[in-house]
């Protein structure tokens, strides 16, 4: 009999997650690859008041994300899964 249960894979035990920083960002400024290592610049918009009274949104780098190809593929899978979750909950009352 066929089942509709999704494939599962073992999840590694992670320690120290409670001490990991939380990085919020609005976009990616740069992408690079060299010798199997991938780098992304994460940026955030910050309002900066100027002496003329204007408050432009200035983009600034908040972090760099560096990883291997394996980690990049895992990140892509996690992002795709998060987008699927968001699509499932769109329009429903939470």
pLDDT (tens digit per residue) in 47-70 = 999 999 999 999 999 999 999 999
Neighbours of 40 (CB within 10 A): 18
pTM recorded for the entire structure = 0.67
**Closest among 45, 36, 42 to 21, alpha carbons compared:** 42
- Percent of the chain at pLDDT > 70 equals 89
**Closest among 35, 39, 29 to 64, alpha carbons compared:** 39
């Amino acid at each position: 009999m066929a089942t509709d249960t999704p494939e599962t894979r073992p999840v590694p035990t992670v320690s120290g997650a409670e001490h990991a920083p939380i990085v919020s960002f609005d976009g990616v400024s740069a992408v690079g690859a060299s010798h199997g290592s991938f780098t992304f610049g994460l940026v955030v918009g910050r309002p900066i008041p100027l002496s003329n009274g204007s408050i432009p949104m200035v983009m600034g780098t908040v972090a760099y994300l560096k990883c291997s190809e394996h980690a990049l593929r895992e990140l892509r899978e996690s992002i795709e899964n998060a987008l699927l979750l968001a699509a499932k909950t769109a329009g429903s009352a939470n």
